Amino acid sequence: MGKRKQKNQIFNNLSKKQKKHLKEFGEEHPFHDIVTEKAEKTQILDLPDSPVQSSAESDEDNEPEHKSAYQKLLSTLSSPADHESEDESVYDEEEVEEHLSEEGSDGDEEYQEAGNNLTVTPEEADEGEAGPNEGGEDAMEDETAGGVEFEDNEHESQFCLENNFSGEGEQEGAESTAKQEDKEDSFKLHLDTEISEEDVKRITAGTKAKAQVKWPKLGTLLCSSPLERFGPAGQEKDKRPLALHKVLETNWTSLNHTSNPKGAVEEVSPLQLELLSLMGSYRDVYFPESSPLTEGQQVRSAYCLHALNHVLKANSGVLGHNAQTRENQAADKAGGNKVEVEPQDEPRDQGLTRPKVLILVPFRDGALRVVQTLINLLETKGRKMDVSNKKRFKDEFGEEPVDTPPNLFRPDDYTAIFSGNIDDHFKIGVSILRRSIRLYAPFYSSDIIIASPLGLRTVLGVEGEAKRDYDFLSSIEILVVDQADVFLMQNWEHLLHVMKHLNLQPLDPHGVDFSRVRMWNLNNWAKYYRQTLMFSSIQDPHINNIISKHCFNYRGQVATKNMPITGSICQVLVQLPHVFQMINSNSFMDQDARFQFFVDKVLPQYRDSVMSHTLIYVPSYFDYVRLRNYMKKEEINFASICEYSTKSEVSRARHFFQKGDKQFILFTERFHFYKRYTIKGIQNLIFYGLPSYPHFYSEVCNMLQAGGQGEEASWTCTALYSCYDAQRLAAITGAQRAAQMLQSQKPVHLFVTGEEKGPLGP
């Protein structure tokens, strides 16, 4: 029996754990040694001269469990008398790895189940045949407890960019990318453009050249550019066609069909074409007209296509350079030292960490729709995508069955926002390579990270915490914030916390090859190359602040600025006088002036018992707490409802208010956003601040007709506003009336709704 064959036989006798430990540490763990109950006598062991002799002794031994694992390991090695060369020892190590790989493919059923079930085909996922992978239960528990991330070691090498080369399919993608580069692809132009320190100072100073252009579907666009050589968007959509990766060229036109399988829709809408043109220019884009009922699905399909196109191009470039480097090394070895070849510089095609795209969505259902869109865009007619961990993803992000009362009525926008799984604490990494998608990839092995601000906040941590990590956000090249208005209703501070930790210099290298890192990443200029795509259904100063204070794209920004012609006050059905009173405020954050005005001017008018059944609508929770404490101190007869109230507290407050036992009821905007309850018994309305959503104004006003108490002639409505509420005021009263109210010398303005002529101004 030869030496190599003997090694194979002894190696196959080891268990899976022993083989794994042998591969990682070069020796077996003593924990796996078999110890007999009887105490063994101390023996002097003479090491054999060859492993053949050791094998013979092992066969003749009647009790093989007495032989320690250390002796087995020594039997696979040669004695010092053999004087093995260093090359032979390296060869043995490679042989061990070869055995492990062979065992992984041809091993027993238990070992295959540990890794191969991580890849779930769509058929298996639908039939439920694929069980949980080894360690999957523990991984989910650890993730819930904020522990170690889920790890998919089986597919780590398959999706690792550093160890992969462009195959047949990727080679075609690399060639397609090269052709697009010749056409001045915006992807290549954006990442390869080198800015100077003077450009950085100019961007940081905040001076921007602004211009307005008008597009057919998007309407009025406000274009701002910090650098003169990158002018406004203009009509570039007509000049430059979409430069897509070859994998997406044949399938992208059907993205609306895949997102809406129930109904027939147009292939690509004009709105999507204009959005894709702006995204392709790699400018920051702010689109505040993304309604969940109409434009929401089209917008999601558009930014998923753009993000996927960016990732495929970046990965194809890295894999192509890997193959080129390998070919150069093979040519050098084949040629020997006869011909001296000048060393070539490594291509700089990577960031400090692998994640390139961060997509923030408010609920798990949004993440589910994003992943489904990515899969649909990559699937072709004759071939389905290989999606790892798909069954687990469906279980965790799918819709949970909820028993909804049949008579419960909710508006259409509420149904569109809160459909599916509405859990707001999640995060998931996605790796994309060779037309395969790997879900639940570790962040440092992911191309796209899909998360909620709360889910990332638990990972990012705060200063002083021992366990925190934000290095994976250091090289984000595209940031997508979808449904930004919903983040206002959750916790805006979480989103600000994420923005502050984007594109920071990482604390650890994380195994990066610095010779291939782009220079602007090494200079800590990644935030000047990051493209931010912000989508919302409303205009809001908080969202505008994100664009102006946290986005530094050297290519500039494009924001849709369409003024509303008709306001939501036109949707008020009841006959009601609306009194708008202006507050003199020094800043947007000055809440003291509003509070003093309310306490001194407004509240005394409603303290009389005649003005009972008064609902006070408070947009901010902090203002709600301030008013609640004041009314408790003044011993005012009131009830309160907020988003943190229990069902019993809400029921009691509504009952007492409707019966007249409570004169006032405090009502927060976030409670109305999440519940949409109809409050009965309202006769007087006070808007402490204008609603964030314009249609909330008409919804609350129309509640007056649900109570059935009092006469319409006695109903009143008072709304407070300041000059910093221009956007909300325009959405409620219309742009023309809002401009008149803000410029007028009179602080009080009256509108009357419910008449045939509609709302009348002062």
Angle value at C-alpha 73, between 67 and 79, nearest 5 degrees: 110
pLDDT-derived band at 586, boundaries 50, 70, 90: confident
Identify the domain boundary among 528, 560, 592: 560
Same-domain status, 531 and 626: no
Q: Is 231 left (phi over 0), alpha (psi -120 to 50) or beta?
A: beta
- Asked if residue 215 is part of any domain, the answer here is yes
- Report how far residue 361's alpha carbon sits from residue 369's, in angstroms, rounded to the nearest whole number: 10
Does position 464 have pLDDT exceeding 90, yes or no?
no
pLDDT of 366 reads: 95
Please state the domain count of the chain: 2
Q: Which amino acid is at 273?
A: L
Write out pLDDT tens, residues 626-664.
999 999 999 999 999 999 999 999 999 999 999 989 999
Q: Give domain status of residue 581, yes or no.
A: yes
Between 271 and 71, whose confidence is greater? 271
Cβ–Cβ under 8 Å, residues 667 and 616: yes
| Residue 360 near residue 498, CB atoms below 8 Å | yes
Band of residue 100 on the pLDDT scale cut at 50, 70, 90: very low
Closest C-alpha to 164, from 363, 315, 359, 26:
315
Name the residue with tokens 């229990």: 646
pLDDT of 605 above 90: no
pLDDT digits (tens, 9 = 90+) for 189-201: 999 999 999 999 9
Is residue 76 included in any domain, yes or no?
no
Instruction: Tell me which of 491, 526, 560 is where a domain ends.
Output: 560
Pair 548, 582 in one domain:
no
Regarding whether 430 and 534 lie in a shared domain, the answer is: yes
**Which residues, 6 or more positions from 340, have their beta carbon under 8 angstroms from its beta carbon?**
none
CA distances from 498 to 298, 341, 447, 455 (A): 26, 47, 18, 10
Same domain, residue pair 469 and 425: yes
Per-residue confidence (pLDDT) for residue 117, from 0 to 100: 34
* Residues 519 and 646 placed together within one structural domain of the fold: no
**Structural domain harbouring 396:** 184-258+265-332+357-401+413-560
Token pair 């260093």: residue: 86
- What is the rounded distance in angstroms from the CA atom of residue 165 to the CA atom of residue 622? 55
pLDDT of residue 80: 41
User: What pLDDT is recorded for position 610?
Assistant: 67
Reply yes or no on whether the pLDDT at 477 is more than 70.
yes
491 is a domain residue: yes
Query: CA angle, corner 158, sides to 311 and 243, nearest 5?
Result: 20
| Strand 748-753 relative to strand 576-582, pairing | antiparallel
How many residues appear in the chain?
A: 762
**Residue 253: its pLDDT value, please?**
79
Same domain, 601 and 547: no
In this structure, the strands spanning 531-535 and 638-641 are: unpaired
495-533: per-residue pLDDT in tens? Answer: 999 999 999 999 888 888 898 899 999 999 999 999 999
Q: Which of 560, 583, 611 is the last residue of a domain?
A: 560
What average pLDDT score do residues 729-749 get?
93
3-state SS assignment for residue 212: strand
Q: Which of 612, 710, 619 is nearest to 661 (CA)?
A: 612
Note whether residue 478 is domain-resident. Answer: yes
- Other beta carbons less than 10 A from residue 631's beta carbon: 18
Q: What is the pLDDT of residue 433?
A: 81
CA atoms within 13 A on the CB side of 210: 7
Supply the pTM of this predicted model: 0.77
pLDDT at 593 over 50: yes
Average pLDDT in the chain:
78
In single-letter form, the type of residue at position 194 comes to E
CA 248 to each of CA 167, 207, 216, 354: distance values in angstroms, whole numbers, following the listed order: 18, 38, 26, 22
pLDDT top residue among 760 and 422: 422
pLDDT score recorded for residue 587: 79
Whether 648 is in a domain gets the answer: yes
Shared domain check, 298 and 275: yes
CA 200 – CA 194 distance, rounded (Å)? 11
pLDDT-derived band at 101 (thresholds 50, 70, 90) equals very low
By C-alpha distance, which of 43, 45, 94 is closest to 74?
45
Is the pLDDT confidence value at 353 over 60? yes
Residue 57 lies in a domain: no
Q: What is the mean pLDDT of residues 123-139?
A: 37
- Work out the angle between the directed axes of helices 726-733 and 694-701 (0-180°, nearest 10): 50
Q: Are residues 545 and 627 in the same domain?
A: no
User: What pLDDT, in 10s, does the model give residues 393-443?
Assistant: 999 998 766 655 556 788 899 999 998 999 999 999 999 987 789 999 999
Task: Point out the least confidently predicted range of 170-179, 235-244, 400-409, 666-675.
Answer: 170-179
- Contact, 670 vs 642, CB < 8 A? yes
Write the DSSP assignment of 128-163 as a string of letters.
T---PPTTHHHHHHHHHTT-SPP--GGGTTTT-STT
Closest Cα to residue 416, out of 481, 358, 495, 485?
Answer: 485
The predicted pLDDT at position 132 comes to 35
Residue 661 burial by Cβ neighbours in a 10 Å radius (0-12, 13-18, 19+): exposed
What one-character-per-residue DSSP string does 698-730 give?
HHHHTTHHHH--S-GGG-EEEEEE-GGGHHHHH
Select the more confidently predicted residue: 17 or 738: 738
At 329 the pLDDT is 77
Tell me, what's the pLDDT at 662? 92
pLDDT score of 104 more than 80:
no
Strands (E), 90-202: 119-120
Task: Say whether both 236 and 200 belong to one domain.
Answer: yes
Lowest mean pLDDT among 135-149, 252-266, 703-717: 135-149
Residue 26 has pLDDT above 80, yes or no: no
Q: Are residues 580 and 556 in the same domain?
A: no
Answer yes or no: do 553 and 580 share one domain: no
pLDDT beyond 90 at 4: no
Q: Is 48 within a domain?
A: no
Task: Report the distance separating Cα 441 and Cα 311, nearest Å.
Answer: 15
Mean pLDDT calculated for residue range 744-749: 92
User: Does residue 184 carry a pLDDT above 70?
Assistant: no
Q: Higher model confidence: residue 328 or residue 684?
A: 684
CATH code for position 501: 3.40.50.300
Same-domain check for residues 718 and 611: yes
The whole-number pLDDT of residue 734 equals: 93
